[in-house]
Amino acid sequence: MIGIVSYGAGNIFSLTAALERQGIKYGMIHKPEDFERYERYIIPGVGHAGAAMSKLNETGLVPYIKALKKPVLGICVGLQLLTEFSEEGNSNLTGIVPARTLDFGEKIKLKVPHTGWNKVYSDQSATELFEGISNEAYFYFVHSYFVEFNSKFTVAFADYGIKFSAAVKKDNFYGVQFHPEKSGGAGEKLLKNFSHLKE
The predicted-structure confidence for 113-162, as pLDDT tens digits, reads as follows 999 999 999 988 888 999 999 999 999 999 999 999 999 999 999 999 99
CA distance 48 to 53: 9
* Domain count within the chain: 1
Average pLDDT over the chain reads: 95
CATH number at residue 157: 3.40.50.880
Half-sphere exposure of 52 (CA within 13 A, CB side): 27
Taking only the tens place, the pLDDT of each residue in 162-173 is 999 999 999 999
Contacts of 52 (CB under 8 A, 6+ apart): 7, 9, 45, 77, 80, 81
CA distance 99 to 83: 5
Instruction: Please compute the mean of the pLDDT values over residues 20-49 and round it to a whole number.
Output: 95
Domain that holds residue 78: 2-91+99-195
The bridge status of strand 173-176 relative to strand 26-29 is: unpaired
pTM for the model = 0.96
Task: Tell me if the bond preceding 63 is cis, omega within 30° of 0.
Answer: no
Q: Which residues are catalytic?
A: 76, 179, 181
Residue 189 near residue 91 (C-beta atoms within 8 A): no
pLDDT attached to residue 47? 85
